[in-house]
A and B are shown apart, each in its own frame.
Chain A
């Protein structure tokens, strides 16, 4: 919520002058007919994307010189809102003069940038970013038709957020590196999910193959599993026998057991614990711990909870372990 959100802001106020000018008077709307293109010795490609029943449809025309694959003329027809018309118009403009290989590199981000009045002010409000995605899709389709390949073959990575063009790989990496736990954080770091919101979770404007909620959950799960495995490896590195481990390995092993069996119950009650030191005392291993949060001073911390921690460590690691809270 912000001050401006108290009023139902008008979508239209956020359009750039270029968007409104092209909505009112698109420069490249129209058709190219096959007979005319062939008469000029060129090849005509006509590609549709979307349909009236889904609220947006665009038809892209490319007249291509077969000698050098250059798009010498391009037109569009659009069933769509004003921003869809303006986006299609700029897309057509960007195609003219390029070869098919060059044109296929045009993305919706290029289209939106071309619609800006000033480089750092978006041309459309966030939820309208989506309108330019169709421009990108129809170009790929036209290029596929010309080259006789599937349109998806031009995509080198899996794009999860089409509006901001954020790939699955990028999302997984950002979640890991920054230890992200919420979708809002993902949007802050990558812009993914900040526009039409279809990619956040099922049930949005458009059905997707990947959703941010699932990617987050899966990546978090993988991270947890890796942590477990690392802990297990540390234990295995000591030959599996607690008594043979170095001090560092012993601490790691105890930490892993606490993580797996104990910590969640402490956290559930608003507390936690940390390992301070391990001291060899005759045949015993004295593990010094400190309680944190609500565990500190809790009556059970010197009775039931302490007994539970101690017996878990004894069972998993060594009968000789004693746990001593500081």
Chain B
């Protein structure tokens, strides 16, 4: 058996989505901007995808949803164009975000800092949640944008988007949220919350990679990031990615219809897995599961280093993820792990398991069994569980790698 529990990284494209896309590669391949019938015949399918998108997110007709290459582009667009519109050509000079955002937001903000923009990186509480009152206290008259993720990719923790939206509305500051980890996992109702901009990527909800969107409330002004042939009403140039737009529409429909039932089903499996893993001694899970996306577990296992654990899980055909610095290309400690910062050990022992609506009970049983076996093996090797004490003078009190 092989089990994929890394659905916060990417998901399987739903076969129904692939089926919906297929006719738009070699059969109906026209450019929707063309006047002839090869182009115009595509229009109904695109209109259908647009309708599916608006319905899934409960966007109003007066709002814009612009298709992009994904949330990285959408995040860059909002933040960089805010800089151009409100800072270079306006009287603002400040952006508020959090320490735990995705690199697409953090690295863009760092780039703007290099251009002289002031950026406040808000701290999160020990569960990884940014508190609304914190946001409120850091907004100034110079603040051009607040950018806060709806739910965390690392922990699954859900931020109080409704409260933050109300604060931003009251303060007259534009509010952007990276909705990548929320859509398809929890209800996203854009008429219930006040959000000016929301980024999303199809591949996180069983759509194809390389397509996503940016929601823009009330069609408000935002300079384009990509200039060119004025597609999408001039908001985002580039020939429409027809099959992918159609695929994303279908994926959104499938991910949001019956979302309460889907959530309950995933949550039941997640909770069963989480409870079983917490039977292991010296383990803990980050964040209250009632305020977490129902598919995510970030568990710390004392004495077991994250990359080693990932290795053993991979040997058992299980795909998971770790924030461990050892597993990254550059050995940089994971900023999200450090921001939660209850202790350093989490940064090295955290394993993230993220389910999908395709995860089965049999897979959960298999993972429980294999996971426990891997912990047992690695703890049998681990110095954290050794019995013989070091020779006097041979012990280490704290992190002593910085030794000279």
Interface residues of A (CB under 8 A from B): 8-9, 11-12, 23-24, 26, 29, 31-34, 44-59, 61, 77-82, 84-85, 127, 130-131, 134, 137, 141-142, 145, 152, 196-197, 204-209
A46 with B394: CB separation less than 8 A: yes
Measured CB to CB, the nearest residue on chain B to A131 is B326
Q: Give chain A residues whose Cβ lies under 8 Å from the Cβ of B302.
A: 52
A56 touches B311 (CB 8 A): no
Q: Are B305 and A46 in contact (CB under 8 A)?
A: no
Using known A-B contacts A81-B327, A130-B331, A205-B332, determine if residue A54 contacts B390 with beta carbons closer than 8 Å. Answer: no
Distance, CA A9 to CA B303, complexed state (A): 28
Most interface-central of A33, A50, A208 (chain B CB within 10 A): A50
B277-316 contact mask (Cβ, 8 Å, vs A): 1 or 0:
0000000000000000000000000111111100100110
Bound Cα distance from A247 to B167, whole angstroms? 80
Specify the chain A residue showing the minimal Cβ separation from B395: A48
The CA-CA distance from A320 to B308 in the complex, in Å, is 78
| Contact call A11/B329, Cβ cutoff below 8 A | yes
Chain A hits for B390, CB < 8 A: 46-48, 59
In chain B between 296 and 349, which residues have their CB closer than 8 angstroms to a CB of chain A? 302-308, 311, 314-315, 324-327, 329-332, 343-345, 347-349
State whether the Cβ of B401 lies closer than 8 Å to any Cβ in chain A: yes
A50 to B402, CA, bound (A): 9
- Complex-state Cα separation, A50 to B303, whole angstroms: 13
B interface SS class: loop
Q: Is B393 an interface residue (CB 8 A)?
A: yes
Chain B residues within an 8 Å CB radius of A57: 383-384, 396
In the assembled complex, the Cα of A29 lies from the Cα of B303 at a distance in Å of 15
Q: Is B387 an interface residue (CB 8 A)?
A: yes
Given the complex of chains A and B, what is the CA–CA distance between A303 and B80 in angstroms? 48
CB-based contact A52/B325 at 8 Å: no
CA distance A196 to B328 in the complex (A): 11
Q: Which of B384-398 contact A (CB under 8 A)?
A: 384-391, 393-398
Set A32, A58, A127: member contacting B329, Cβ < 8 A: A127
Bound-state CA distance A85–B195 (Å) is: 49
Beta-carbon contact of B381 and A11 below 8 Å: no
Quick check: is B399 within 8 A (CB to CB) of the other chain?
A: yes
Also in contact, A55 and B311, with CB within 8 A (given A48-B394, A77-B382, A84-B305) = no
Q: Is A78 a contact partner of B344 (Cβ separation < 8 A)? A: no
Number of interface residues of B (CB under 8 A): 48
A145 to B394, CA, bound (A): 7
Given contacts A8-B329, A12-B314, A46-B391, 6 further A-B contacts (CB under 8 A): A52-B302, A53-B344, A55-B305, A56-B326, A78-B382, A79-B305
Inter-chain contact B383/A45, CB cutoff 8 Å = no
B400 contacts A by Cβ under 8 Å: yes
Chain A residue with the shortest CB-CB distance to B386:
A77
When distances are taken between beta carbons in the complex, the residues of chain B under 8 Å from A205 are 325, 331-332
Q: Does B404 contact A (CB under 8 A)?
A: yes
Write the nearest CB–CB distance from A36 to chain B, whole angstroms.
10
Write out the residue numbers on chain A whose beta carbons fall within 8 Å of the beta carbon of B397. Answer: 51
Chain A residues within 8 Å of B343, by CB: 53
B403 within 8 Å of A (CB atoms): yes
The one of A55, A134, A152 that contacts B347, using a Cβ cutoff of 8 Å: A55
- A81 partner, pick from B307, B347, B399, beta carbons under 8 A: B307
Q: List 19 A-B contacts (CB under 8 A).
A: A29-B381, A46-B391, A47-B391, A48-B394, A48-B395, A51-B399, A52-B349, A53-B345, A53-B398, A55-B305, A59-B383, A77-B381, A77-B382, A137-B403, A145-B394, A197-B331, A206-B402, A207-B402, A209-B404
Chain A neighbourhood of B314, CB < 8 A: 12
Please measure, in the bound complex, the distance between the C-alpha atom of A61 and the C-alpha atom of B386, giving whole angstroms.
11
A31→B386 contact, CB < 8 A: yes
- For the complex formed, measure the closest distance between the CB of B46 and the CB atoms of chain A, giving whole angstroms: 31
Chain A residues with Cβ below 8 Å from B387 are 31, 33
Bound: A50/B382 CA distance, A: 13
- A17 to B: closest C-beta gap in Å: 15
A50 touches B305 (CB 8 A): no
Q: Is the CB of A48 within 8 A of B396?
A: yes
* Given A11-B329, A77-B381, A78-B381: A51 touches B403 (CB 8 Å cut-off): no
Tell me, rounded to whole Å, the shortest Cβ–Cβ distance linking B312 to chain A.
8
Q: How far is the CA of A223 from the CA of B325 in the complex (A)?
A: 39
Interface contact B394-A56, CB-CB below 8 Å: no
Contact call A78/B383, Cβ cutoff below 8 A? yes
